[in-house]
Amino acid sequence: MSISVGDKLPEATFLTMTSEGPTQMSTADVFDGRKVVLFAVPGAFTPTCHMKHLPGFVTHAEALKSKGVDSIACVSVNDVFVLNAWADQTGSKDVMTFLADGSANFTKAIGMELDASGVGLGIRSQRYAMLVDDGIVKVLNVEEVASTAEASSAEKILAAL
């Protein structure tokens, strides 16, 4: 069963890159006492993620923050090194936090896994965006089709604020 509006995010651990190297962050580190926009992509550098989904959150970051969002986080079932390279290449490292969920533990815990084995990608995350306030899901927009980034766009989250 997948997570719903009103649910508390489960305990999980992500990896994120710092100047000292990979560092663990818990859901408490990311979400407790904060209003966070979390969006998930099936894979860094994949066409829709790279050219449509991520750029929207970069473009609208200041507008989201002006509406009371403390931070923006991107989660993907990729390793921390791939996410760090993607953050560097897109120039978005200072705009948001990249959360590597390499083994899909968080993704599975919230029921958002996507089996992309048929195209050689293994288990990934569905494409979604959510507004999380102090660990509680307030808005959840899930794409019906993973190759689109409309329901889970930054514009849709912005409109919900």
Active site positions, annotated: 49
Say how far apart CA 6 and CA 97 lie, in whole Å: 23
Q: Please report where in the chains the tokens 């993973």 appear, as a residue.
A: 146
If you write DSSP's letter for every residue of 119-147 in order, what string do you get? GT--EEEPPEEEEEETTEEEEEEE-SSTT
Q: CA-based angle 45:40:20, to the nearest 5?
A: 70
Which helix (H) or strand (E) segment is 31 a member of?
Answer: helix 27-31
